[in-house]
Structure 1
């Protein structure tokens, strides 16, 4: 049995028959980093026992280690992007492995394989397999051609979690750093996942930051759902509020 529950943003709890994996923890807010929706876990102390944690890259809204130190089990295993292990260990967690694309490890009974990503800093995405189910976690990658390889290596995806807000850094750069809803829908067509859930769309830089720092398609998961209906009709899209579980 596979159950997923959004925490907030790209932070998701995946429950593979009792083995729970947390993705990209973000459990606090600060200036210019607003979650834009109520998160379903107040603090790390409120998390259930975890089989492991995966972290795609070293951005605060995906790697909130200051808040995560309240999690009581310092031996919980981590799979993280290259270059992150020292930072996780410095936060007090002792069981950390770095994965480059197509390297893999196990977090308890869950097999974790890193996949490519494109972003403003080094990043990986992840494929997680356990209990007869396979999940792709897209973190906040751009739509890069290297992601097509996932469909060849993992043709049996049950669930795809894809970012959709098309975040751009502006005004000087106006550089896109996250795939948008249309690009995520096109990737959904390639991946052929049975079920897809959009993530990474409510984020705000706040009233000032949204004007001068970042630009994104906020709170529009319907754009992704409608595009998938046109491009990948065999994939069922679920738009989930944080805290609402989905049994896949």
Structure 2
């Protein structure tokens, strides 16, 4: 058995002690939060377009970190999670598309193995798809009956039809049981046409990450058009900062990767920390305004909304 444990860049540690976890839980019990805001569901879902599209690049937000990405006639899903609950907590808003509304899925891209990014019940709906996963995760999935699994390390890439799928660094950690902490890696994905022209056509799916120098390195290597950036699960910041960016840090990360369009994610579906979806969005838009960034470059999607 491979006993390798994966690490972050520069040896940054993200794991917290039991004492720190207890302190967070104590703080949470003292907070009063308004959870009335729900991410809206798109009323004009483009189901027929998504099923017939073979030419246009499109990005549809399912919820949390789950996206349907269409490029060069290939249908991709990122971190597909259709679960109704995460632990004991009920989902805050329904997925933007039902499973039966999806077009045929060619491949699934996983950023890491945490339950809010890798839901085994959902994955079983895509047994026929090719899975692209971080290093250390393929054995677990093959043991679960998934035959088509490609495992990549940071900066490696695979080709799928006319696409290149690049696995890029993030600052995070993994665990699904008490015994497998950091036994598989974590990261993001850059999706781009295999033959790059002058157009900035890459989609960057950041996965789950704290703020780190890797964002700038990603921006130096790729011409990113759309940056799908996490903005939630950051509070309390003393506990979460190494593993989850704040909305303000997400804006800086977007600038670091030199993206053209910012699409926020990782909020609104599950309550993983103490921040609320409304707080995350308010801080994001306030930072966007403070930095005087283009209004057209920030695309806040509804659940089920498609950007082309």
TM-score normalised by length of structure 1: 0.85
How far does the alpha carbon of each residue in 1:39-96 deviate from its partner, in whole angstroms, 9 at most, with x for none? 12333x543212211001001110112222123xx34211111111122223332111
Which piece of structure 1 moves more, 45-54 or 191-200?
45-54
Mapping of 1:37-186 within 5 angstroms? 37-43=93-99, 45-71=100-126, 74-121=127-174, 122-130=185-193, 133-154=201-222, 156-168=223-235, 174-176=239-241, 177-186=243-252
TM-superposed deviation, 1:153: 0.3
Change (3 A) 1:144 1:27: same
How far does the alpha carbon of each residue in 1:7-42 deviate from its partner, in whole angstroms, 9 at most, with x for none? 110000111142111000101123335442221233
Structure with bigger helix share is 2
Structure with bigger strand share is 1
Instruction: Please say if 1:215 is aligned against 2:289.
Output: no
Which piece of structure 1 moves more, 90-99 or 12-21?
90-99
**Aligned equivalents of 1:185, 1:18: Cα separation in 2:** 30
Q: Does the aligned pair in 2 maintain the 1:196–1:238 contact within 8 Å?
A: yes
Question: Match for residue 253 of structure 2?
Answer: 187
**Aligned equivalents of 2:113, 2:89: Cα separation in 1:** 14
Q: If you compute each CA radius of gyration, which structure gives the higher value, 1 or 2?
A: 2
**Aligned equivalents of 2:284, 2:91: Cα separation in 1:** 19
Change (3 A) 1:229 1:128: farther
Instruction: Please say if 1:36 is aligned against 2:89.
Output: no
TM-score normalised by length of structure 2: 0.69
**Where does structure 1 differ by over 6 angstroms across 4 or more consecutive aligned residues?**
none
Q: Does the aligned pair in 2 maintain the 1:189–1:228 contact within 8 Å?
A: no
Report how many aligned residue pairs link the two structures: 234
Q: Secondary structure at the match of 1:70?
A: helix
Change (3 A) 1:108 1:77: farther
TM-superposed deviation, 1:114: 0.8
RMSD value, Cα: 2.3
